[in-house]
Amino acid sequence: MIKKFIDKLLGKTAAASRGKAPRFGKREEIGPDVHGIDPALVDERALNVVHTLKQAGHEAYIVGGAVRDLLLGLKPKDFDVATKATPEQVKGLFRRAFIIGRRFRIVHVVYGRGREHEVIEVSTFRAYLDNAAAEQVAGNEKTSKSELAGMKHAVDSSGRVLRDNVWGPQDEDATRRDFTINAMYYDPETQIVVDYHGGIKDAKKKTLRMIGDPVARYREDPVRIIRAVRFAAKLSPLGFKLEAKTAAPLVESQALLADVPQSRLFDEMLKLLQTGHALATIEQLKKLGLARGIYPLLDVVVERAEQTFVKAALQDTDRRVGEGKPVAPSFLLACVLWADVRDGWAARLKQRQHSFPALQDAIDDVFNARIGDVSGRGKLAADMREIWMMQPRFEKRTGSTPFSLVDQPRFRAGFDFMRLRADAGEVDEALADWWQEFSTASDAGREDLVQQAKAGQPRAPARAAREPREPREPRVHRVPADPAAGPAPEAGEPPATEGDAPARKRRRRRRKPGGGEGAGAGSEPA
């Protein structure tokens, strides 16, 4: 009895020391009459994942940005599910499910195939871990070996979360999320929204607020600095603003990004530029004092965003995302760095280098100076290089070049790039129009376009007029003397041969055996 009392007392003390009551919030369940979510906006496949997990006896909810968008009356582009089931349990319930990640293990449940496939991302409820919490959980006798393994080196000395694979209750899972409007759970079967941190109130007030102390939360994961910018840009058209306490530490916390792997920063940069709000993101970076220092390549984007060509590329990317069309990071980055490639290419041409090798060398220099290790990312670098290398080929519209170029797998990207150059006044608009027509024409139509281009090309300049030269004396053909044939011809007089065929052609003929018809010039008369 005494032992149970001490254990209970110690348990309460530990919970109090972790600040459980105020930190993890109070569970509120909000019905459809308050939140007003339209069930028709929920994806059927996300609904199926939730239903399958619940049928197997696990809690499961739609979570994160999808709930936020549903509250705002928007149809989410992606649906995430959070559950009490472990990744292994989730994987066992679906025919096509794959566990991915090391720092943050999740399950991708895949529906469909090819380009039409859809992925529902399923994560397990995580425990909220700081240094103190990690030590206490590790010291608990009930902590399993798998939890201990996932907790090893989970948090570094500065408070940055290194691993996040310790499972926990839903209230702690809500707390470890960043913003209040991203920490709500929606059950599409009961239509109940579970809210621990006033997310619905913040959504109605259009406030972006960090859960807990913003300084500590940025230290736990510095990438939250970039996420704050992204959400502010995405939701600013709807009237959302960053809470003052959430925005205040951003600049001073920026130095924490130096400890984040470059590959992760690169991926976060692409999210900033490819979520349909690239121009708004750049404005937010400037407004928040983060225009420089997040990532070197992002600094270049912000610096060149007002250039006609780069601005057109950013606008085109936003338009395509808004229309639900795919966008490729290689195309946008090729646009951003084109000025470096073009200038390096022009400098080499002035040194009388050949055009294509000069362009290749200029591209290599840009990869080394601007992209660094990203150039080793295979497809990204290859696609950028191919887009750039196509540009001089568009200038040639005769021969076989147009036919081979239009069959290239990356032709459309290269053409769209050239079209943007034309819109920016860098190349002739007529050239872009010609290629637009050529790419959609029939075989006969393409032949006609090539002939028109050939006829319309300026001829090479005529050589300067020269003084007329004296005609050359004809080559002397000496025929062996033959007493029966009379005297040999005088110098300059052509030989007396039958047919008077030109000597050049006669020399090409092969001598037939017997010296009959077809014998070459200079042969003896028959």
What is the set of active-site residues? 78, 80, 178
Place of tokens 């050589």: 463
Beta strand 97-100 with 207-208 is: unpaired
Q: List the one residue out of 3, 97, 61 whose CA is nearest residue 184.
A: 61
Token pair listed for 267: 């991926």
| Residue type, position 219, single letter | R
Q: What is the DSSP letter of 153?
A: T
Instruction: Name residues whose C-beta falls within 8 Å of residue 265's C-beta, 6 or more positions apart in sequence.
Output: 223, 226, 257, 294, 295
Rounded Cα gap, residues 156 and 112, in angstroms:
41
Token pair listed for 352: 């009388």
For residue 448, the Cα-to-chain-centroid distance in whole angstroms is 37
Instruction: Name residues whose C-beta falls within 8 Å of residue 133's C-beta, 6 or more positions apart in sequence.
Output: 18, 127
Q: What is the DSSP letter of 29?
A: E
Cβ(133)–Cβ(116) below 8 Å: no
Rounded to the nearest 5 degrees, what angle is found at the Cα of 432, between the Cα atoms of 344 and 427?
35
Q: What is the DSSP letter of 241?
A: E
Angle between helical axes of 429-440 and 411-423 (0-180°, round to 10): 150
DSSP codes, 316-353: HHHHHHHTT----HHHHHHHHTHHHHHHHHHHHHHTT-
Rounded Cα gap, residues 87 and 70, in angstroms:
26
| Residue type, position 427, single letter | V
Cβ(331)–Cβ(419) below 8 Å: no
Residue 120 phi/psi, 5° resolution? -105, 120
Q: List the one residue out of 302, 280, 274 whose CA is nearest residue 236.
A: 280
Rounded Cα gap, residues 13 and 493, in angstroms:
126
Residue 51's CB is within 10 A of a number of other CB atoms, namely 13
| Residue type, position 458, single letter | P
Cβ(479)–Cβ(489) below 8 Å: yes
Using CA atoms, how far residue 351 sits from 77, 354, 510, in Å, is 51, 9, 51
The alpha-helical segments, DSSP class H, found in 56-102 are: 65-71, 87-91
Rounded Cα gap, residues 375 and 263, in angstroms:
11
Q: List the one residue out of 329, 259, 341, 256 whose CA is nearest residue 298.
A: 329
